Copies of this chain bind each other. A is one copy, B any other.
Amino acid sequence: MNVGIICEYNPFHLGHRKQIVRIREDFGADSGVVCAMSGNFVQRGHPAIFDKMRRAEAAVRCGADLVLELPAPVCLSSAEGFAMGGVSILSRLCDGLCFGAETADAEALSAASQALLSEDFSPLLRERLATGKSFPAARQAALTAMGLPGSLLETPNNILAVEYCKAILAQGSPMKPLPIRREGSYHAQTPDAANPSASSLRLQLEQGADISPYLPIEAARCFENAPIHTLQAGERAVLYRLRTMTEAEFAALPFGSEGLWRKLMHAARQEANLEAVAAAVKSKRYTRTRIDRMILCACLGITQAQMEAEAPYVRVLAFNDRGRKILKAVKKQGFFRNAGEPVDHPYQDLERRWENLYPLFRVDAPGVPGGNLRERLFYPPKFTNP
């Protein structure tokens, strides 16, 4: 059985390895573990703290068999788009999709997903949005109105889990949803030794602390001396873009509906720094994450149209022998391309642009453009010399 994981590994830590170990306990030691991982930019609208090649290598050294790159427009989508993109990629290779959630009740998650996709749901949601409720609150209320537990959508991992289930249903994916109960807090500020949160580890890294106690030793070695990246470090690059965009470019941004792009345009032309820009655009109606994603899309030149288009191919970042075999079965389709492999497609120009910009977020000093493009995919040496 091949089990897929949609992930960011930002950075890879003990909790992530625990999930991989658990998959092999539950589904057999010979199960394939295939990760669809965010590349150099992540869901919260920030650059990844370590680059994708290092994070992919850490995953394979810690038990994953194959790491594929979620295209940047997928990573920077809403939770729904993120799930749809990940499921669409993993459905080509996997029989199951494993994800952490506050509940391990697959039935409840599936029932909620079916309700959210049903025709009855939209009018109920619209009614609640019209009362001025935020989108998450309106969605919970609408689900409750359908006789299901709206509280299911209160916690961050359940919300994402429901999106995975929805994507599986909507796409008729062959993957079975495999929720496992996630322990520890997702966004705790100080790391919990057994179940650290990625955000607490990023905070530690930004403060120059040693996070190796919270990582598998193999991952710690991958990240040793690796440069860290933050939005703050690239602030002036992002501001340059925001201050030189035309009105048409703002209008073409994703997440810009209901005049949000215009609010962002005015803020970008008035405010001194990114924090002030985001604060000026923020309102009860729009989450801060949505605004952060919109700003990063502006920086990367990702339009609404590009966000909606499916990527023509997906990059393979790392694998071991088992991962290579999993890939071989479908490789002929040409959908999976090795990291750094030239592809004669206009999408490659977009990839280059993103790769050239990521090193501007490096904290210590700007890095060479497209550094990751010059790296080969990771394949552990012990497998090449048995």
A residues adjacent to B (C-beta < 8 A): 233-241, 243-244, 268-273, 299, 301, 353, 356-357, 359-360, 365-370
**Cβ-closest chain B residue relative to A365:** B273
CB atoms of A240 and B240 under 8 A apart:
yes
Chain B residues contacting A357 (CB-CB under 8 Å) are 240, 243-244
CB distance from A357 to the nearest CB of B (A): 6
CB-based contact A236/B366 at 8 Å? yes
Report the minimal beta-carbon distance from A380 to chain B, rounded to whole angstroms: 29
Tell me whether A243 and B368 are in contact (CB under 8 A): no
| Chain B residues whose C-beta falls within 8 Å of the C-beta of A237 in the assembled complex | 236-237, 239-240
How many protomers of this protein does the assembly include? 2
A247 to chain B, nearest CB (A): 11
- Chain B residues, Cβ within 8 Å of A369: 243, 268-272
Give complex CA distance A233, B359 in Å: 17
Residue of B with least CB distance to A299: B240
Tell me whether B239 and A360 are in contact (CB under 8 A).
yes
Determine if A269 and B366 form an interchain contact, defined as CB atoms under 8 angstroms apart: no
- Residues of chain B within 8 A (CB-CB) of A272 are 359, 365-369
CA distance A273 to B241 in the complex (A): 18
> In the bound complex, do residue B366 and residue A235 qualify as a contact, i.e. CB atoms below 8 Å apart?
yes
List, in ascending order, chain B residues with CB within 8 A of A239's CB.
237, 360, 366
Smallest Cβ-Cβ distance to A240: which chain B residue: B237
Cα(A367)–Cα(B269), bound, Å: 11
User: Cβ of A240: which chain B residues have Cβ within 8 Å of it?
Assistant: 236-238, 240-241, 299, 357, 360
Contact call B368/A301, Cβ cutoff below 8 A? no
Known: A236-B236, A243-B369. 18 other contacts (CB 8 A): A233-B236, A234-B236, A235-B366, A237-B237, A237-B240, A238-B240, A240-B241, A240-B299, A240-B357, A243-B353, A243-B357, A243-B360, A244-B356, A269-B370, A270-B369, A272-B359, A273-B365, A273-B366
Closest B residue to A352 by beta carbon equals: B269
Chain B residues positioned under 8 Å from A233 (CB to CB): 236
Chain B residues with CB under 8 Å of A365's CB are 272-273
The residue in A236, A359, A367 that gathers the most chain B C-beta atoms within 10 A of its C-beta is A236
Closest to A241 in B: B240
Q: List 24 A-B contacts (CB under 8 A).
A: A235-B236, A236-B240, A236-B366, A237-B239, A238-B240, A239-B360, A240-B241, A240-B299, A240-B360, A243-B353, A243-B356, A243-B357, A243-B360, A243-B369, A244-B353, A244-B356, A244-B357, A269-B356, A270-B369, A271-B368, A272-B359, A272-B367, A273-B365, A273-B366
Residues of B within 8 A of A299 (CB): 240
CB of A47 to closest CB in B, whole Å = 12
CB distance from A369 to the nearest CB of B (A): 5
